[in-house]
Amino acid sequence: MPKNLLEQLRAYTVVVADTGDIEAMEKFRPQDATTNPSLIAAAAQMPQYQTIVNGVLVEARKELGASAAAQAVANLAFQRLAIAFGIKILEIVPGRVSTEVDARLSFDTAGTTAQARSIIAQYDREGIGRERILIKIASTWEGIRAAEVLEREGIHCNLTLLFGLHQAIAAAEAGVTLVSPFVGRILDWYKKDTGKDFHGADDPGVISVTAVYNYYKKFSYKTQVMGASFRNIGEITELAGCDLLTISPTLLAELEATQAELPRKLDPAAAQGLPIEKIAVDKAAFDKMHAEDRMATDKLKEGIEGFSAALVKLETLLANRLAELEAKVPTSA
């Protein structure tokens, strides 16, 4: 009787939980965890996390004072909430948590750098070392430049919303710790664009991540590849052997419940022997390759807009919660 797919996958690949749900992490015990504004917003509405949310709001109000606008308190509370969930997550996972910079700063190198340093400082005040934190930044040219600065300061980065090889090469050349190519979102785009369905090794998301992995291993980059945004377990099994895979609780449960043989698909030794040409990616080349890649152009724009909208939604939710709290207990400066 073979082991289940999840057990076998762990032999080849570091399994990461793609969720803000603490209970799901306690169940599956991943090595690392990733969050994003959508996941934090979902977790913030769960009854079991209301104490965390309320505590963050009270502290943000105290810090900014009674005269501060509710929106300003909500914005600060969002940043603190991501840290609060990160701290809870790190009590469960033995490895790292990814905490995201505000997606609205995706084209602002200085703003991204400043917020990343602030996130690290907040974790530091809680006694959590930077070796356990990955700062999640969108894979724009400006985001990659911010990550380059941060990595030189010993702040490790996870470049997210990565859809094209040009983004991956620029990130590796910048010395980032980790990239997160979005498998399922690539599949979504091709299904919509072609009207076809794709399966297994023919999945365009699988093909894209495989190309990034092989390029990195061929040229001995230290940057690791973490496939993300899966639509089905077939995508995951085709990427067995990838450095890391970040997987939702639903798909983790499906992997755990499935008994089948899982052969390794990605291997660094095999990549070394592949005939891959090295590509120089400066800003001009990055912009040209990005403009020529309709999928990467569309999905990066859509991803940034989606995460930004999730932030606005979360800040509105927090502002409303703050109003409810303050209606019950008058706040003093």
Fold type of domain 5-33+95-307: TIM Barrel (3.20.20)
The single-letter code of the amino acid at 87 is I
How confident is the model over 34-78, as pLDDT tens digits?
888 788 888 888 899 999 999 999 999 999 999 999 888 988 898
pTM value is 0.93
Please, what is the average pLDDT of the chain?
A: 94
Domain ranges of the chain: 5-33+95-307
Range 81-105 average pLDDT:
93
Is pLDDT at 331 greater than 70 in this prediction?
no
How confident is the model over 117-147, as pLDDT tens digits?
999 999 999 999 999 999 999 999 999 999 9
Q: Would you state the pLDDT for residue 306? A: 93
Give me the DSSP letters along 197-240. Answer: ---GGG-HHHHHHHHHHHHHHHTT---EEEEB--SSHHHHHHTT
Positions marked catalytic: 136
Is pLDDT at 28 greater than 50 in this prediction?
yes
Give me the DSSP letters along 271-310. Answer: HHTS--------HHHHHHHHHH-HHHHHHHHHHHHHHHHH
Q: Which of 71-85, 194-208, 293-307 is predicted with the least confidence, judged by mean pLDDT?
A: 71-85
